[in-house]
Amino acid sequence: MQTGEVKIRVRYAETDRMGLLHHANYLVYFEQARTELLRDAGKTYKDLEDAGFFLVVAKLEVRYRLPAHYDDVLTIRTTVTRASPVRLEHRYEVVRDGAVICEATSTLACVGRDGRLQALPDWLSGSE
């Protein structure tokens, strides 16, 4: 299982009127964490897309435990928990000061330029 971490500081524009990280921005953070995990493996989303492979979110579940605030430094831990011929599953933990404040899972499906399901490249599905 591939695991990685990325640190993100909550920006003012990402908060609501109460100064809390808006719930939708966690999804942006998860995407950034997946992007960096792929980069750590020596590839980029641009590489995938240029080769005709597109990863779309098919399922996403989030559990918010504690709020994040403006200027908090968060660590997003991302793990690939399963790779099938056409799907990737990830687990996320959002950590602040050693405490897990949010947990999530996602399933990404691989599609071609036509939007139809297709097999992941071998190097990404673990078939290689």
Name beta bridge partners: 73. 9
Helix, strand, coil percent content, the chain, rounded in steps of 5: 25, 45, 30
CA distance 25 to 44: 22
CA distance 19 to 22: 9
97 is catalytic: no
**Annotated active-site residue in 16, 47, 71, 122:** 16
CA distance 22 to 28: 11
Are 4 and 39 in contact, with CB atoms under 8 Å apart? Answer: no
What order of strands is seen across the sheet that includes strand 3-9?
A: 3-9, 73-83, 87-96, 99-111, 54-64
Q: Which active-site residues does the annotation give? A: 16
